[in-house]
């Protein structure tokens, strides 16, 4: 049996704990008990055409060939899902959409359903990104419907939450969790990924301090524990998003609570995104 995929993440984790942080010995065994494989997601938003997508993957593929300690998910525009799926076939890179509609099919001009995204070869879909909440009127209720639809189609929803203004994270997260996530059944919750993205840090060049982000992640995990139990809470991956760059990713990732990233701008460049993946 090939033990490398099991041993490598733990070795990296221990090395990180010893060399990058002053984590107490008690924390050394925290992550390997829970074994949350980090997810590094790239949200391309409304960037890149066919040519840009093709050239990104030509450069990116060889840069992450040896990366086995992360799940990598890239979310291009709907127009390039097919191209991205073809470009990543036979690699460990997965492809996700940036949005979906909750109905399976019908007279919903301009919308794309979960089964369509699944049939295109995607594994993930971003749900409730703050830009969708802000510009397209998405609410916790629509986020819940989309999450359920994504799960029903066999996709992994990356459910985004986060406060607009610094300082009121807990109140906002509590409400978003209560209305957008808590109504899920246990089996549904077990299949989602959560992305904590403080809106004030998205595209702003200013990231949350690692300890601040970790506090928010702990708060979300506590909500998950209250609603779905300890095991489910310990297993759910909570990603951080908001101006993650190669220069700040290492200190964020050193927080045991941070299980990966949702990256916007820095995911557009194959070299910077690969350097975040390969941390
Ligand atoms: C995002 O769009 O989810 C995001 C975090 O963007 P950026 O990394 O550019 O802040």
Q: Whose CA is nearest to atom 7 of ligand 1?
A: 264
Going from the Cα of 207 to the center of ligand 1, the distance in angstroms, rounded, reads 10
Q: Which atom of ligand 1 is nearest to the CA of 265?
A: 9
pLDDT of residue 224: 98
pLDDT of residue 14: 52
Going from the Cα of 260 to the center of ligand 1, the distance in angstroms, rounded, reads 13
pLDDT of residue 24: 38
Q: Whose CA is nearest to atom 2 of ligand 1?
A: 264
Select which of 13, 69, 124, 129 is catalytic. 129
> What's the token pair of residue 172?
């906002």
| CA gap 162, 176 in Å, rounded | 8
Going from the Cα of 133 to the center of ligand 1, the distance in angstroms, rounded, reads 14
pTM for this model (two decimals): 0.88
pLDDT of residue 3: 59
pLDDT of residue 31: 46
Q: Whose CA is nearest to atom 1 of ligand 1?
A: 264
Query: Could you list the pLDDT tens digit for every one of the 279 residues in the chain?
Result: 465 655 665 565 555 444 433 343 444 444 444 589 999 999 999 999 999 999 999 999 999 999 888 999 999 999 999 999 999 999 999 999 999 999 999 999 999 999 999 999 999 999 999 999 999 999 999 999 999 999 999 999 999 999 999 989 999 999 999 999 999 999 999 999 999 999 999 998 889 999 999 999 999 999 999 999 999 999 999 999 999 999 999 999 999 999 999 999 999 999 999 999 999
Q: Where are the domains of the chain?
A: 1-35, 37-277
Q: For residue range 6-19, what is the model confidence (pLDDT) as tens digits?
A: 566 556 555 544 44
Q: Look up the CATH number of domain 37-277.
A: 3.20.20.70
Q: β-strands 124-127, 193-196: how paired?
A: unpaired
pLDDT of residue 68: 84
Q: For residue range 217-241, what is the model confidence (pLDDT) as tens digits?
A: 999 999 999 999 999 999 999 999 9
Q: β-strands 124-127, 156-161: how paired?
A: parallel
Going from the Cα of 243 to the center of ligand 1, the distance in angstroms, rounded, reads 6
Mutate to test the pocket of ligand 1, among 39, 42, 45, 252 (most ligand atoms within 8 A of CB): 45
Q: Which atom of ligand 1 is nearest to the CA of 129?
A: 3
pLDDT of residue 190: 98
| CA gap 151, 157 in Å, rounded | 7
Residues with Cβ within 6 A of ligand 1?
A: 43, 45, 197, 202-203, 241-244, 262-266
Using CB atoms within 10 Å of the CB of residue 174, give its burial: 0 to 12 exposed, 13 to 18 middle, 19+ buried. middle
Alpha helical stretches, state H, the chain: 4-19, 25-28, 30-34, 50-63, 81-88, 114-119, 130-136, 140-152, 169-180, 186-189, 210-228, 230-235, 246-253, 270-277
- Rounded (5°) CA angle 275-197-230: 100
pLDDT of residue 226: 98
Q: Alpha-carbon dihedral of residues 193, 254, 246, 82, nearest 10 degrees?
A: -20
pLDDT of residue 19: 42
């Amino acid at each position: 049996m090939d033990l490398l995929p099991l041993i490598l993440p733990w070795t990296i984790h221990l090395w990180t704990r010893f060399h990058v942080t002053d984590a107490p010995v008690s924390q050394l065994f925290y992550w390997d008990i829970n074994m949350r494989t980090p997810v590094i997601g790239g949200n391309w938003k409304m960037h890149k055409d066919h040519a840009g997508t093709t050239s990104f993957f030509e450069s990116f593929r060889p840069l992450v060939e040896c990366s086995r300690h992360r799940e990598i998910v890239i979310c291009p525009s709907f127009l390039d899902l097919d191209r991205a799926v073809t470009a990543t076939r036979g690699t460990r890179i997965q492809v996700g959409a940036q949005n979906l509609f909750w109905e399976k099919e019908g007279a919903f001009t301009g919308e794309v359903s979960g089964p369509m995204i699944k049939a295109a070869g995607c594994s993930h879909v971003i749900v409730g990104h703050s830009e969708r909440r802000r510009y397209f009127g998405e609410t916790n209720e629509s986020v819940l419907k989309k999450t359920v639809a994504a799960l029903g189609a066999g996709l992994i929803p990356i459910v985004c939450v986060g406060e607009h203004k610094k300082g009121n994270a807990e109140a906002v997260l509590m409400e978003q969790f209560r209305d957008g996530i808590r109504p899920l059944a246990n089996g549904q919750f077990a299949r989602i990924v959560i992305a904590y993205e403080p809106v004030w840090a998205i595209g702003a060049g200013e990231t949350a301090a690692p300890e601040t982000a970790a506090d928010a992640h702990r708060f979300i995990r506590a909500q998950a524990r209250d609603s779905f139990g300890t095991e489910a809470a310990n297993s759910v991956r909570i990603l951080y998003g908001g101006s993650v760059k190669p220069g700040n990713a290492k200190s964020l990732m050193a927080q045991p609570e941070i299980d990966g990233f949702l990256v916007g701008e820095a995911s557009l460049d194959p070299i910077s995104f690969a350097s975040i993946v390969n941390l």
